[in-house]
Amino acid sequence: MQPRIFDKMNQTLIKTWSCNKLSDRAKGQLKYQLWQDNDDQSFGIALSENESSGGFSTELIKVDQIILSLQKLYQSAKPFHAVALKELFVGKSVNNASFLGAALVDQGVIRLHPQTARLLEVNDEYELWPISFDDVVQQSSSPSESSHDIKPASGKRGPKPKNQQSTQIDDSDALANVGDENAVHQEPI
């Protein structure tokens, strides 16, 4: 299990993606984010939103740790359940591993098993996945990048001040309002 990362301070939000959940019966999509450490330039993935019900942890999972877990799974040469990714999380939500699994399927790092529902397989080129982030970083820093591709981290929102005219939040405001990323978020029923 990796050491707990209490917040995303000294991290830069690079991109937010949406993906489907692993189950065909599941409603809504998930959102997950790519973060980069400002010191060592390493990357991390964090779940950020579930459009339907179901709690999860927004803690930052280092990509290096994900690769190490995938390496073990790949070497076993056996299909696996998403719960095998549970060791990456400090948070205890039962949805964490399957939601991360959905994000990794979306990234093309793992795939659904062709014959058995609920099983996953590691793609042969999983180790090349972090290299793809260089293009994502370059795209996010280019001025022609549309602002809707890079979204602020979701934080607790209070009432909007009456004199506030702008509806956009810049990245520095978003990072200041991240809150506790290890909190478990759940939509009301």
pLDDT value at 17 more than 60? yes
CA atoms within 13 A on the CB side of 147: 6
Rg (C-alpha) for the chain, rounded Å, is 17
Looking at residue 2, its pLDDT comes to: 53
Residues 6+ apart with CB under 8 A from 72: none
* Mean pLDDT value of segment 132-161: 57
Q: Is residue 106 part of a domain?
A: yes
Q: Is residue 178 part of a domain?
A: no
pLDDT value at 150 more than 80? no
- Look up the pTM and report it: 0.71
Q: Is residue 161 part of a domain?
A: no
Q: Is residue 82 part of a domain?
A: yes
Q: Is residue 24 part of a domain?
A: yes
pLDDT value at 181 more than 70? no
Q: Is residue 149 part of a domain?
A: no
Q: Is residue 67 part of a domain?
A: yes
Q: What is the pLDDT of residues 74-98, one digit of tens each?
A: 999 999 999 999 999 998 889 999 9
Give the count of domains, the chain: 1
Q: Which domain holds residue 104?
A: 11-143
